[in-house]
Amino acid sequence: MNKNSMLSMVCSLGIITVLTGLILGVVNYYTKDAIADAALQTKIDALADILPEFDNNPLEQRNFAVVNGDTLIVYAATKEGEPVGVAVESPAHDGFSGDISLMFGFNAEGAVSGFKVLAHSETPGLGAKMEDWFRDSVASRSVIGRNIGAADFSVTKDGGEIDGITAATITSRAFLGALRRAAEAYRKYVSETKESK
């Protein structure tokens, strides 16, 4: 390859790189607000699904709790000024295919009132079944209604009380680890709230 061909190729690649970067920047500029709005709506819908009935705006009652190095977002829900529950965003960094974004709801008595998988990239048909699996009343799958003070939120393979997803033990461990961290954030929030009164 002669010097002119090499220079032409480098210039062509440089122009392509600049144009690609420019296109990506423009697309990001025009879609970032829509993406942020969709993420916010997902959280609003999740709060309504996983918490007992409330009349405040939990997004405005946002707090933070540090658990095992993760800063978890804690949302307090009230009805007529009385606490009815808490939702906690708790990521799992050890999913089979990467991070899993989860939100767990707890009622005022400390029982799991619901959960929502906000985002994941787990294997379809296996780990992706967590949204349904951990609500299923078959055997010991469901975490709903279990009190955080009484339940061992670990898979039965590890000596816990929850049946893991068949052929997706890594995802099950990640999900339940996120639930344990969310439960700890709930405990911290409740304890700090009582101390401040």
The predicted-structure confidence for 97-109, as pLDDT tens digits, reads as follows 889 999 999 999 9
DSSP 8-state secondary structure symbol assigned to residue 155: B
Mean pLDDT for 169-174 is: 94
Decide if 78 is inside a domain: yes
Percent of the chain with pLDDT over 90: 57
Q: Two tokens at 49?
A: 């699904």
SS3 for 134? coil
Residue 113: the pLDDT is 97
Residue 174 CA neighbour count, 13 Å, CB half: 23
- Residue 49's nearest CA partner among 114, 121, 4, 101 is 114
Decide if 14 is inside a domain: no
Mean pLDDT (the chain) is: 89
Residue 36: the pLDDT is 72
The span from the CA of 5 to the CA of 14, in Å, is 14
The span from the CA of 151 to the CA of 161, in Å, is 7
Decide if 90 is inside a domain: yes
Instruction: Kindly report, residue by residue over 158-168, the tens digit of the pLDDT.
Output: 999 999 998 88
Contact 55, 78 (CB under 8 A): yes
Q: Two tokens at 131?
A: 């949204």
Residue 197: the pLDDT is 61
Decide if 36 is inside a domain: no
Q: Which domain range does residue 180 map to?
A: 51-196
Residue 194 has pLDDT above 90, yes or no: no
- Count the domains in the chain: 1
Decide if 171 is inside a domain: yes
Residue 116 has pLDDT above 90, yes or no: yes
Residue 192: the pLDDT is 85
Mean pLDDT for 85-103 is: 92
- Residue 74's nearest CA partner among 52, 89, 84 is 89
Decide if 143 is inside a domain: yes
Decide if 94 is inside a domain: yes
Mean pLDDT for 170-186 is: 95
Q: Two tokens at 165?
A: 């997803």
Q: Two tokens at 109?
A: 């008595």
The span from the CA of 6 to the CA of 20, in Å, is 21
